Structure formats: C-alpha cells, structure tokens
Homo-oligomer: A and B are copies of this chain.
C-alpha cells in the first residue's frame, strides 16, 4: 500500500493560491518526496504531513520551481534533529547544484547522499525503521524500486517511476502438505531456506507465483516523447504534467517543452495505465477543470491534482 499526497499542483512560480508541484509517497510510515519548489515545506505544514519521515528526495530537474524549496526544507529537517541519512536523486549535473545548496545550509546534522543521473533501478527497503538503499532486489521482501527516464525538457530532466513489489503469497495448504512446522513459516516467507530433521525446505515450496506490485509514475517537465509510453507501462497511477489545458496553447507547450492535457492523456492511453492525475498547471490557467474534457476524450480516468489531494493505492 502506498499513500500519496500532492503538496502542490502549480508550475513555473509559487502562487498564493497554488503551491508548486510536489508530492509525497509514503510506505509504512517512511516517505519519498518528489520535487521541492519554494514553499514545499509550507505546504507540508499546511497539510500536516510532517517532514521527519522523508528518507529520499527525487528532483526531476534543476529549474527553480522544482528545487528552490530544498535549502529551507533541509534546514528545517536539520532543526528537527534528524541524524539519519537523506538520499537525494537528480539528473546529470544535479551534484553541482547540490554542492551550492548544501553551502547555503551549513552544519546539517544528518549525512546526505547524492545520486546523479538515471542508470538503472535504485532499490530501497525498510530497514532500521527507514528506507535504506539496497544493492539488489529481494523478491521475498518489500522493495521500493525507483527507475528513471531522461525526458525532453529545456534542461536535463528525469521522469521517475516507483514500484512496490508484491511478495509471493504464502500457500498454507502447501506448508501443511509438506508438514512444515509453523515456526518456520515466517522465515520461509522471508526467503530463508530451512534445514530441519535432515530435510531442506526452500521458500519456493510454499510460495505462490509472482504477483504484480504497485507502480506509480511521475513525469514532469517534458514534451510527450515516445519513451514515456514504455516507461509508464501499466502504472496503477500516472502523475503527469499538464501545463496547458487548452488545445490552443499547444504552441506554448511545444515552445516551453511542456505538455497539454490532451498530450498527457494520450500517453496514459498508450501506456495502459489505470489512472491519470494531471498536475504542474501553468500560473496562467486559473481553472484547470475547464479543460479536463480535453484529457478525458483520450483517457477517461483522468483527474486533476489539487494542493493537499491524497489517495491510497493498494495492490
């Protein structure tokens, strides 16, 4: 189960009535933040999400509306006496920006790990009550896998997907059939092979087939390039920028390397996602809802983000 909270839904500039696009995804009480424009920590206070559980921060690109909230947020996290590491992920060149940001926030009481660029999935698991980076996926445990895709924006920009795998089902009938003592069941489910009375029990004996997990994908800011369709394939939730609702603004979307609602919806359709939520609305668009039909004509299960929107996605 993943809990999603939209902290803001705006693009370009922070506005009094709309925080900048940013979202939190929580897993068993620990949190991943996607993007952090100016005012993100204010939205966290407004929606009472807290900031103490954030272990990972994914930055799509180094434009201010996705980044300028970092000094304040890191500083506030430091003032809360956090000591656990925070992992920050961003596109190529991100480390250089982070060097400057960390200069502005001296004496942080927690270590910061910076991961730059995409290059293969990053795996995290809940260990010691926080999300810790792992060398490889362990299908018997709950892993959060972060994948990235290079997007087509006016600067290096990464799309993200987050996948929570589903552990194989424990087949009680098999365990009983093999007469395995109950005190071994949990260990087998966790992937341990058990030796008992000259016999060896491997997890596969009692575990079911692979089950699909929860995939959430997050694409902003970009033109709707083809690679996105494969990247978001079969997401339970596809969160996509919709800078412009009006089809008549397509030329602005092209010029500024963004998308219209219709373009985002077409990606959702082709990517066979279950649900699309549009976000990152241009400040020029007062009422995004006036244009939602442009998205729904291509992809019916479309809705619009708003500041504070929360939802839970189960398996």
Which residues of A come within 8 Å of B, CB atoms? Answer: 13-16, 37-39, 41-42, 45-46, 62, 64, 67-69, 71-72, 75-76, 79, 96-97, 100-101, 103-105
Give CA–CA (A38, B104) in the complex, Å. 13
Chain B nearest Cβ from A16, distance in angstroms = 4
With A38-B39, A38-B41, A39-B42 known to touch, is A13 a contact of B101 (CB < 8 Å)? Answer: no
CB atoms of A15 and B38 under 8 A apart: no
User: Could you say how many copies of this chain the assembly holds?
Assistant: 2
Give CA–CA (A173, B280) in the complex, Å. 66
A64 CB contact (under 8 Å) in B62, B100, B104: B104
CB atoms of A38 and B101 under 8 A apart: no
The residue in chain B whose Cβ has the minimal distance to the Cβ of A73 is: B38
The residue in chain B whose Cβ has the minimal distance to the Cβ of A43 is: B16
27 A-B residue pairs with CB within 8 Å: A13-B72, A13-B76, A13-B79, A14-B39, A14-B41, A14-B42, A15-B42, A15-B45, A16-B42, A37-B72, A38-B39, A38-B42, A38-B68, A38-B69, A38-B71, A39-B42, A64-B71, A64-B72, A64-B75, A64-B105, A67-B104, A68-B75, A68-B104, A96-B103, A100-B100, A100-B104, A101-B104
Chain B nearest Cβ from A49, distance in angstroms = 12
Give CA–CA (A100, B105) in the complex, Å. 11
Chain B nearest Cβ from A99, distance in angstroms = 8
With A16-B46, A46-B16 known to touch, is A72 a contact of B104 (CB < 8 Å)? Answer: no
